[in-house]
Structure 1
């Protein structure tokens, strides 16, 4: 403003606004963990898969998702659940900006807190990298369009943590993000991630490792232009490609595999090349824009074996995998958590996709590892050697057992048991419809053209929060919705004369989405409904609720 108008409308010393902030002195010492390679003497592949699929960081998280309403606002284009079988494996969230356009926003998360036990900087870099690989399959455009929010959590003052925090901030703020051309305009911090208490006359401490949670967000022009982890077997011959940004490094330090065997490991994953990470994002963006991908899923917690299994769960299909182009150490190949992704393409586009990835410098990162097949069998080979074979349904139930047990503790056990049992039905057709009409036919058009829009009262009461999307739905169907609050009716400021019908919406007044509807209609029938011609239908509706 000073440069434009050549004046100073506000000219105050900062200490007047903020007070004199105290000077802080930090005595910082760098401490490094001496990790050790995994002791594999008691690890078998079969046992490792069983354990990792039960680890909360890897396992299904329906218990967290279904406790809330995923459709509030009516503008959620992509929630956690993917495909007809509603598997919670979505890489990112997508919302629309309005009810009458396809513009919107995409959001994703990234975090690798356990890695900070071995390498503070690597943990921070991986958080940024994971946020980008999660959001990559939504058509955004240039990488610079993405903005990041950083949530830092650290036990300030704990030996080694202050130096580690500085190392992590420098790694992403001064090195990785500038190299990628993206910024971190917002964020927050929690610097007291340590608690201390007295127990049996002893002082006990619990300290959380350094954690950086990155949220990536970006504007998108078409919310329909996204690819999910759902594998397709109805598009003819297909191919699965692994894009390994670790380029065979296969570090197992601080992985899910290490955790389930109560070990830490030595060398963790990392962002080894910022240029290749940027090239990965740009290549996926081009392929998404060209509609060249059938499915996409990033490689994260649990490693390649979990990535493939989650894609098979979403697609309700089997896998025929051959890892002959990868290292023969199957534990490190299947359970390393280096950045990357698995993509599915049709066979006729395979060479084009490989060429596109090569143009962005990823030729050495791409491996053709197999295909999705119909059926329930998941088969992994290395050349002619059978490495692992299991039914998809067995893996699915292992993956679901943790959420089932959590729901049994929190919710009605009978309901949790019923839901879990339904997942065992291999013949479940998933969500499907049998339409008796053509959804492409706009039946409201003739009435809209004649301006014959029935007036609709959208009844609103305390706790109602879905009235806007309800009005939008009726408006698209040819009605003229009007916001009608119960206080306006009770006070006589508004009358129902001239309305053809009304609708009551859901909310949270009475702890459930039907509560506000039931309460609002009861109040209406007892006070106002008796004075209208709508009373019989309102009374019947209330009785049903």
Structure 2
């Protein structure tokens, strides 16, 4: 039986169609229940009604991630267990055939189809697809090469010969499954053959392979490195921690651990070129899984992402350097599409999983180059760089995987298998254009972050146990099961027997090859002893996390994979994971050398300023930042945003070791492909220097505590680039060893070229050698770091590590003028930068400097401008020598990108500063270049930039902000609501006047009596699948005198009355059920349609001795069940933000008069708070309907509806409510994430304790 439901879009001639299928007949009550759950109207026979001509639907055989979450909701609401549901979006109404395709919009060809006439609609809905067993294919030995070419397996001639010899020894032909598996396991992407190849340059064999160069850094010094080059991430020793975990009674407790931190960075370039959203989302997801599958289970903490693209070419906003842009093939997306969609994919995945993504970069680059022979060459990033990385944590006791035993159970934890991501490892190893379009699409995975959150909860629960049941774990990534399973058993010198029919597929009619080799995401291979299956099963059921037992470990070193009564794989492990011959790299010295422009003529200096500030590598990155939840976990100390004006100019990202610690980790990034186009070695030196000048802003101590991840991109089909790659890798190893810095992890992607045929002519765009270097270090005090934000009058000092050379090659200014110049800046003296690092460390430790910003993209002028933006301050450059410079010399002084930094020093500290500088022999590199004037009234003129030259330059700071934020505005206008984009751009061009926070209450610490009580009041930290903000909520109540217990909705299904033992209920933020069917709505319906749960909720809410707090997703959920809550009928629903985008910001709120028990004595306070939501706007348009409001967004001391200070557009700035007696409170912002003062992106210096503790303390005092 199938049933149809329609939901109309507001003010559009479109609707959504839900198709529900079940073998059972639904009665009227069930149909009405579905109407409520889906917020849709039942349609008996939609094809007979005048409902338009069609829409976009999932392929008939395909169970989408949306559907799997919707089914979870529906099944939890006591509807038939066999129910299936799918969604048809953009069902068109009143449309002509002519504009049908345009109005339907984008279709994901891997998972969706367009249906645009009534006959095909009928066929689609009436089509029944049977799941039929598929057979594997036999490939003749002499046809292996043909098969490899047809499937783009990226096998070399040596590898094909190796395979032929194997099967001759086995005396049989290979199967298609075996060949695909071999190609994935031995792909460049997975086995890094170029980095392990012998290098011959001008016929001379080099002493070291590329990988040997990297490993030599570990051989020189391996301080604190527990694991390098052999697990999914590198493990580094950290500080002792008091980690918040759950005991066997589901009670939160603090466990003292010797904790290590883990580091990782990985690219996802090919998929992002083909399908930007999914490519970037699964790139982030894959890297997160690597962090979770290290050792015997670990936990991701914070992340970063970066994008390097060709020119954006926004049609209505074409920038000067884009006028010579190069065309692209139709098979890949253009750079603008990528930067609009890919960051949303990465952000959405991190948001839904619950990992704060708190650092990154963005660069565009595209050049037409020419050599002495007048031969042209095109350099760019048509194949983009999309990198994801981060820091995780691991219990040192679980840092090593255990040896496996015979009959150990092999389990797949996580999602189902789809016909997607096929051949991804091999596809990523080919240059773009060498595989078919169909295979390109097939190699891109699709994402489902919510199920990965569930998997992580399972892993966490296992690692909380003293006897962790996980013996070994691997994420399922490139190559799918065909790579992960052989790897995990081979580490113990074992084999495996796999039953492929035990794998659960989300698509029908999948072949053995598709089941074994697909790269469907959100899956882990875990090995358990048979005795651990029961406890593992119990954990998975509580978390609603699917798993399936698919085989066993065997002592026979052989991989046997059966599928029903077939055996598509039966091969010795030594053949599969042996060492196929690696082709040596034979190259000559560079034979293609770019020539400089004959003469360089610079335009007017003010025009240069505008060009550079609009350059993507320089400009405001807010559009990449505010879409990401940067506060989830409660562990974030420093994200991209700096100061009270929240300007994205941070040098580093910082996280705490645990929720209440002072110790933590710092990370940063460096990359310089703009220099590599002419000199890869110089590029590496500048990247290394950039990373050190960035991370120096945090007190680390010994430079050897820094660890780095090196991610390399290059075009391996090009002689020049392979030579450049070798030079670059050896140079990085040299710098690392001289500074005692280890590189224990990294990755390479060496197919960075794009080829295509147009008008019978081959076009090629290659990328230069591109190193993305990320650096990490343990720090003892997370608060001991310096940002570009300054107060008062400051002396500005330039520390110039370029020693006055002012080399301009590769600069943002030259790029804006399309100038190629081989005279690039270099790291000339490695000892100098070590002295610099040690000097800055001493200045920070002794609190001598008040502001710090490195000198990098855009040069000194940009460094000063960004300090001024962050501080909302004027700056002057008044060196006497400026008046003696010619126009060209002045431009080169202001815009060169030599290494260095600018520091801000008070008058009282200048002597101390100069003394320290002298002690490190940096006096000749250091000079006072001007002053910063913050917090001053400038006679009504506004903040300004003044440069004392022959003809003095005077510019209002707002005019510079206009250029700097132009790109962010353009992307937001395209991607989001253009009205809110206009509002934010306008606000950025006005002098911001932010009302200082105002605390109206005396903040006292919580009574020690409450903290020391043996029997404390109990509070349930309530969550559902997809919740990710529970730990910070639990910690806030624990530190306020409560005993906190983890309560999953499933616990109430089993024991509804358990709720009554608690004194309070805290409902946490996150993405319950992935926000399918509306934020918090699925969770609410699970409660409402389980009578025992809803009746116990009703009883709890009506008990006047109980209190409730719902934050973000918890707030949204409670608003949907308000009829169970006394005195809550005035509560609104929460709908999509006005910007149509997820909003994550630190903004001010005003605490209003109400009956709330939590906000007692806080009325009139104006306090910064974190918001992180996509659906936070109240669905009320009349102020008279607002009752018992607890907080409103505030600007300059008054309630505001102005974006972005009111990030969701709620009327009168309203963002929190309580019920009539004040016991039940809901709010969209996150006070629990600001329980510690160090969690504020900015807070007044005079504060000693977070004012948001007051609401948790009030709760404890109310209990008595």
**TM-score if structure 1 supplies the norm length?**
0.91
**One of 632, 635, 640 as aligned partner of 1:80:** 640
**One of 969, 972, 977 as aligned partner of 1:412:** 977
- Once the two structures are TM-superposed, the CA of residue 361 in structure 1 deviates from its matched residue by 2.1
CA distance in 2, matches of 1:262, 1:399: 20
Counterpart of 2:622 in structure 1 is: 62
CA distance in 1, matches of 2:984, 2:747: 38
CA distance in 2, matches of 1:414, 1:304: 34
**One of 855, 865, 869 as aligned partner of 1:313:** 869
Alpha carbons of 1:21 and 1:444: their partners in 2 closer, same or farther (altered >3 Å)? Answer: farther
Counterpart of 1:437 in structure 2 is: 1001
Further displaced range: 323-332 or 289-298:
323-332
Cα deviations by residue, 1:112-132 (Å, 9 ceiling, x for unpaired) = 111001111010111111111
- Does residue 1:396 correspond to 2:952, yes or no? no
Alpha carbons of 1:512 and 1:131: their partners in 2 closer, same or farther (altered >3 Å)? Answer: farther
Alpha carbons of 1:98 and 1:505: their partners in 2 closer, same or farther (altered >3 Å)? Answer: same
CA distance in 2, matches of 1:152, 1:394: 38
- Does residue 1:137 correspond to 2:713, yes or no? no
Counterpart of 2:825 in structure 1 is: 269
Conserved in 1, the CA contact under 8 Å of 2:798 and 2:903?
yes
**For residues 519-534 of structure 1, what are the structure 2 equivalents within 5 Å?**
519-527=1082-1090, 528-532=1093-1097, 533-534=1099-1100
CA distance in 1, matches of 2:739, 2:958: 41
Runs of 5+ unmatched residues, structure 2: 1-490, 495-572, 1103-1107, 1109-1117, 1134-1264
Alpha carbons of 1:453 and 1:522: their partners in 2 closer, same or farther (altered >3 Å)? Answer: farther
CA distance in 2, matches of 1:469, 1:284: 34
Alpha carbons of 1:508 and 1:266: their partners in 2 closer, same or farther (altered >3 Å)? Answer: same
- Once the two structures are TM-superposed, the CA of residue 46 in structure 1 deviates from its matched residue by 0.7
Alpha carbons of 1:68 and 1:523: their partners in 2 closer, same or farther (altered >3 Å)? Answer: same
**TM-score if structure 2 supplies the norm length?**
0.40
Conserved in 2, the CA contact under 8 Å of 1:509 and 1:515?
no
Counterpart of 2:73 in structure 1 is: none
- Does residue 1:93 correspond to 2:660, yes or no? no
Conserved in 2, the CA contact under 8 Å of 1:38 and 1:266?
no
Counterpart of 1:378 in structure 2 is: 945
- Once the two structures are TM-superposed, the CA of residue 349 in structure 1 deviates from its matched residue by 1.1
CA distance in 2, matches of 1:28, 1:44: 45
Counterpart of 1:4 in structure 2 is: none
Alpha carbons of 1:102 and 1:517: their partners in 2 closer, same or farther (altered >3 Å)? Answer: farther
Further displaced range: 532-541 or 129-138:
532-541
CA distance in 2, matches of 1:463, 1:444: 35
**One of 118, 121, 126 as aligned partner of 2:678:** 118
Counterpart of 2:132 in structure 1 is: none
**One of 601, 604, 621 as aligned partner of 1:44:** 604
Cα deviations by residue, 1:273-308 (Å, 9 ceiling, x for unpaired) = 101100010000001000111000000000000000
Cα deviations by residue, 1:183-228 (Å, 9 ceiling, x for unpaired) = 1111110011112122222222221111001111000001000000
Further displaced range: 135-144 or 517-526:
517-526
- Once the two structures are TM-superposed, the CA of residue 452 in structure 1 deviates from its matched residue by 6.4
- Once the two structures are TM-superposed, the CA of residue 509 in structure 1 deviates from its matched residue by 4.0
Counterpart of 2:712 in structure 1 is: 152
- Does residue 1:486 correspond to 2:1074, yes or no? no
CA distance in 2, matches of 1:101, 1:215: 24
Counterpart of 1:179 in structure 2 is: 738
- Does residue 1:467 correspond to 2:1030, yes or no? yes
Conserved in 2, the CA contact under 8 Å of 1:463 and 1:516?
no
Counterpart of 1:293 in structure 2 is: 849
- Once the two structures are TM-superposed, the CA of residue 512 in structure 1 deviates from its matched residue by 6.1
Alpha carbons of 1:488 and 1:87: their partners in 2 closer, same or farther (altered >3 Å)? Answer: same
Cα deviations by residue, 1:47-87 (Å, 9 ceiling, x for unpaired) = 00011111111000011111110112110000000000000
CA distance in 2, matches of 1:433, 1:529: 41
Flag the structure with more relative contact order, 1 or 2, with Cα contacts below 8 A and sequence separation at least 6: 1
Counterpart of 2:772 in structure 1 is: 213
Counterpart of 1:342 in structure 2 is: 902
CA distance in 2, matches of 1:133, 1:269: 15
CA distance in 1, matches of 2:632, 2:599: 48
Alpha carbons of 1:422 and 1:451: their partners in 2 closer, same or farther (altered >3 Å)? Answer: farther
- Once the two structures are TM-superposed, the CA of residue 310 in structure 1 deviates from its matched residue by 0.2
CA distance in 1, matches of 2:1075, 2:834: 45
Alpha carbons of 1:493 and 1:510: their partners in 2 closer, same or farther (altered >3 Å)? Answer: closer
CA distance in 2, matches of 1:227, 1:37: 40
Question: What is the root-mean-square deviation in Å for CA atoms of aligned residues?
Answer: 2.5
Conserved in 2, the CA contact under 8 Å of 1:38 and 1:263?
no
- Once the two structures are TM-superposed, the CA of residue 336 in structure 1 deviates from its matched residue by 0.4
Alpha carbons of 1:139 and 1:513: their partners in 2 closer, same or farther (altered >3 Å)? Answer: farther
CA distance in 1, matches of 2:1089, 2:1101: 10
Conserved in 2, the CA contact under 8 Å of 1:507 and 1:515?
no
Corresponding residue SS for 2:586: coil
Corresponding residue SS for 1:464: coil
- Once the two structures are TM-superposed, the CA of residue 427 in structure 1 deviates from its matched residue by 4.2
Alpha carbons of 1:199 and 1:445: their partners in 2 closer, same or farther (altered >3 Å)? Answer: farther
Counterpart of 2:424 in structure 1 is: none
**For residues 355-366 of structure 1, what are the structure 2 equivalents within 5 Å?**
355-366=915-926
Corresponding residue SS for 2:823: coil
Further displaced range: 38-47 or 504-513:
504-513
Counterpart of 1:195 in structure 2 is: 754
Counterpart of 2:83 in structure 1 is: none
Counterpart of 1:544 in structure 2 is: 1132
CA distance in 2, matches of 1:421, 1:44: 26
Alpha carbons of 1:354 and 1:392: their partners in 2 closer, same or farther (altered >3 Å)? Answer: same
CA distance in 2, matches of 1:15, 1:126: 43
Alpha carbons of 1:458 and 1:154: their partners in 2 closer, same or farther (altered >3 Å)? Answer: same
Alpha carbons of 1:228 and 1:125: their partners in 2 closer, same or farther (altered >3 Å)? Answer: same
CA distance in 2, matches of 1:412, 1:422: 16
Counterpart of 2:171 in structure 1 is: none
Cα deviations by residue, 1:386-435 (Å, 9 ceiling, x for unpaired) = 442211111112101110101111111112112222223314216x4211
Larger Rg: 2
CA distance in 1, matches of 2:589, 2:1072: 52
Counterpart of 1:3 in structure 2 is: none
Counterpart of 2:579 in structure 1 is: 20
Alpha carbons of 1:218 and 1:401: their partners in 2 closer, same or farther (altered >3 Å)? Answer: same
Cα deviations by residue, 1:158-195 (Å, 9 ceiling, x for unpaired) = 1300000000011111x211111211111110011112
CA distance in 1, matches of 2:1057, 2:681: 62
Conserved in 2, the CA contact under 8 Å of 1:325 and 1:367?
no
Conserved in 1, the CA contact under 8 Å of 2:1016 and 2:1043?
yes
Counterpart of 1:103 in structure 2 is: 663
Conserved in 2, the CA contact under 8 Å of 1:525 and 1:535?
no
CA distance in 2, matches of 1:323, 1:522: 68
Runs of 5+ unmatched residues, structure 1: 1-8
Alpha carbons of 1:55 and 1:417: their partners in 2 closer, same or farther (altered >3 Å)? Answer: same
CA distance in 2, matches of 1:204, 1:530: 68
Counterpart of 1:224 in structure 2 is: 783
Counterpart of 1:253 in structure 2 is: 809
